[in-house]
Amino acid sequence: MSRWGPVPAMTAIITCGLSAFALTACGNEDARAVRPAVTGVAAARWGPCAGLPPSQRGGRTDFQCATVQAPLDYARPAGERIDLALVRLKAADTAHRIGSLLLGFGGPGASGLQTFAQSAADYAALGARYDLVAFDPRGVGRSAPVSCASDADMDRITAADATPDTGAEEHAYRASLAAFAQGCADRSGTVLPFVGTANAARDMDVVRTALGETRLDYFGISHGTRLGGGYAHRFPERVGRAVLDGAVGTGTGPMDLALQRAAAFQRALGRFADACAKTGAAACPLGADGTAVAQGVHDLLDRLDAAPLPAGGDRALTQSLATTGVGAALYSEDLWPYLAQALAAAARGDGRDLLVLADAQNGRQDTGRYTNLIAADTAVTCADAPQRYSVDDVREQLPRFRAASPVFGPSMAWGLLACSDWKVPGDDAGQDVSAPDAAPIVVVGNTGDPAAPYAWAPALTREIGGKATLLTLNGEGHGAYDTGNACVQKAVNAYLLDGAVPARGASCS
């Protein structure tokens, strides 16, 4: 057994996409023009949760679910409506209940219903006095979900070479992206123009109304910070107590966001490699020190480019799947022992463990069915950004990406082409998160965050302005509260439960 102890059970991995902006149909909006609440919102009617398997409930049997309706197009509020799916756990201490706390999880593309069902115990302290409510943002899960490809096609797409080295590989990669974009348009063309973060932030005010709350108390994580910032910008007078943890950058374009994330993932890989080497050769056979381990990961991925590994059944571990799997494990320090085990197995010729990590990140379930995580992630990303990059753009930037991360840089650079053939234009109407008149908003950043580099947290604090304040964790993993750090949890709980704003410059280790 390694010094890390037993390998933890696999948990849901919250992804953080590259989306940074908002939606074409919204135009260059003035926040003052979108403040009126949507009228005619019915109170949420709660009932049993169909389709949340008991195995994902963490032993809880008291989840309640509801749907509320929102306009598909906020420019035509009386037109077509879509259903937004909600899940709730009622406050345990009803005598001291504060109200509803809306939880916004990551992605874009991660189902709030599924994530909360798997992780409700992590928020038990808040659930004592709040009704905890999670939702699937529009385009995700059960809220007007975007669909793009069959499960068989998704197997091919996720395994395909995402770092082309030859003209033929480049042609195949571009053709795959174009086919995926066309599939999204064919299957979900009605909803695609309206899935951006700006509209999802407006939906949060519909949810607030349906919950009967005069102000929105909110805890946003990862892409949920984008939603929270967008909500505060549009409805500053309706912000209650709000925490934004694992801040996603707002003032930077997709290329620089991707470049910064590549560097952050490489740094996280280096810290994993150092920790892995210290466990000894038996648990970490890729090298005697951190530099050697990191190089061993790079070399393994290079070998997989030419010779994928068997991974059980008729599946193989390709370079793309292995890169996804390695990155997935860097989201949580708790998964580092599993990553060491998976890399050791791959070094022996067995790709199954790395494939498990990749499948979790890609939304592939044990049944072979995919959630719509990748479809929704791509749809929101492309709706939120006006940039459409070319192959020449990628080729020009590849040296910078490789310098930032030999392991993750090339795939992140080529990933910029995901929106090139998208059938709906995007724009940055939702980029502004300024809310100087809002109640205090607590932004939380983790210095070791690979998916939301720490620099984005102080930047978001400045961009919100006003009474926004920053809380820093000197730690590892994506986000801070869910790492289990007692100092962070105490500070966040004190704010959300008692209104005690952390001191400026507060930090935890």
Q: Which residues are catalytic?
A: 222, 449, 478
Helices (H), 160-222: 167-188, 197-211
Write out the E strands in 59-203: 64-71, 81-89, 99-104, 130-135
Provide DSSP, 344-381: HHHHTT--HHHHHHHHHHHTB-TTS-B-SHHHHHHHHH
Q: Which amino acid is at 121?
A: A
Show Cβ contacts of residue 367 under 8 Å, excluding neighbours closer than 6 positions.
none
Of residues 194, 142, 153, 207, the one with CA closest to residue 176: 153
Distance between CA atoms of 208 and 216, rounded to whole angstroms?
Answer: 6
Of residues 483, 332, 299, the one with CA closest to residue 407: 299
Query: Is residue 66 classed as helix, strand or coil in its secondary structure?
Result: strand
Distance between CA atoms of 262 and 453, rounded to whole angstroms?
Answer: 10
Q: Which amino acid is at 215?
A: R
CA neighbours closer than 13 Å in the CB half-sphere of residue 307: 7
Altogether, the residues listed in the chain come to a count of 509
Show Cβ contacts of residue 178 under 8 Å, excluding neighbours closer than 6 positions.
421
Helices (H), 189-308: 197-211, 223-234, 254-278, 290-306
Supply angle C-alpha 489, 19, 193, rounded to 5.
Answer: 125
Of residues 469, 477, 407, 474, the one with CA closest to residue 441: 469
**Residue 132: phi, psi to the nearest 5?**
-85, 125
Distance between CA atoms of 248 and 49, rounded to whole angstroms?
Answer: 31
Q: Are 66 and 189 in contact (CB under 8 A)?
A: no
Q: Are 159 and 359 in contact (CB under 8 A)?
A: no
b/e 97-123 (16+ beta carbons within 10 angstroms → b): ebbbbbbbbbbbbbbbbbbbbbbbebb
